[in-house]
Amino acid sequence: MKKRAYKERFYPTPEQALLLAQSFGCARFVWNNTLNYRTEAYQQRDESVSHSVAEKRLVALKADYPWLKDVSSVILQQTLRDQKAAFDNFFNPKLKARYPRFKCKDGRQSIRLTKAAFRYRDGEITIAKTKVPLPIRWSRPLASAPSSITLSRDRAGRYFISCLCEFTPKTLPITPNTVGIDLGLTDLFITHDGQKSGNPRHLKRYEAKLAYLQRRLAKKTKGSNNRHKLRQKVARLHARIADCRRDAIHKATRTLINENQVICVETLNITGMIKNRALAKAISDAGWGEFVRQLTYKAEWAGRQLVQVSQWLPSSKMCHGCGHKVKKLPLSQRHWHCEGCGQAIDRDINAANNIRTAGLAGLACGATGSGAAA
């Protein structure tokens, strides 16, 4: 059994929207207040505030701020647990997580509820302090009763519910097909057999309209209703871009997983690559990190193998036919001729072939010396 989150959209009633606004505000206040207390305790007194101390302090906060009692106590307790998890990730050197940040009122809002704060019955979910189930637009049935739910509202004002459920993944039939993938900007990905996906460039498609709305937003008076309305328009456009990008990546990764037993990809230092100001926008719009993330969990669920090849493999500069390696290959040079065997080489297809070869070799010998890791 594995755990999976089912994310659906819902449209709350006015009473539910008011309760959710109060819940978001209380959770945000407890998070920011506790984070400020932890930070000051460390900076001024060199003390580390434990989770138990933070929970005891929550009782005093409710006494000082009675309006915190208007929402379910589970929400506030879960906020402290989430903050503890954020600090655990920060102090874990392997995760390289950043220090927890304060939450703003205009950003994405979310609360997490355990079974004590909601009821799931007959396909309907009712949260604490309400009597009417949430009007959820179900796109698919849940695999099991959710163990926890996350209610969120994005910057565009849309409400979502994410239900964490246990499910049994269905293993796909074994296929002899294997594929090597090279990620790029002209094409989102290129396979070893020459298939090129193209790049829809979702941000570029809406870039002119986005710039126009942002110019108008910059001229509005801070705190005015007109500024709030225009900020909503900008947020909705950003949400549309993100939805289009996510949908395209889901379709591409699903096709790759369904058709291939082994998928070989290159490990990229995306954080370092986006420091290049000339390519940062294009790399971020391509969504390489999300592409590999979806391949990873979909391969695990479907019984496929994802092999990641080291980024230091000279995949573009080495001929996949004879192994000859050129000394220099500028990024602008998309084709070159091999001096060893004389064949004309497409840079991206050649890289995909080398990635596939290295991935299968590392998978066959069970070693990571070639840079391959399953």
Q: Exactly one of 15, 266, 285, 346 is catalytic; name it.
A: 266
Estimate the share of the chain in helix, then strand, then coil, as percent rounded to the nearest 5: 45, 20, 35
Answer yes or no: are the C-beta atoms of 104 and 48 closer than 8 Å.
no
Nearest Cα neighbor of 100 from 120, 127, 82, 125 is: 82
Is 88 noted as a catalytic residue in this protein? no
Is 82 noted as a catalytic residue in this protein? no
Answer yes or no: are the C-beta atoms of 352 and 180 closer than 8 Å.
yes
Helix 51-64 and helix 73-91, axial crossing angle in degrees, nearest 10: 140
Is 193 noted as a catalytic residue in this protein? no
- Eight-class DSSP state of 343: -
Nearest Cα neighbor of 268 from 257, 250, 283, 254 is: 283
Q: Which residues contact 36 (CB under 8 A, 6 or more apart)?
A: 102
First CA to last CA across the chain, in angstroms? 21
Residues 262, 174: Cα–Cα separation, whole Å: 10
Helices (H) and strands (E) in the chain, counts: 10, 14
Q: Exactly one of 47, 166, 182, 207 is catalytic; name it.
A: 182
Catalytic positions, written as ranges: 182, 266, 348
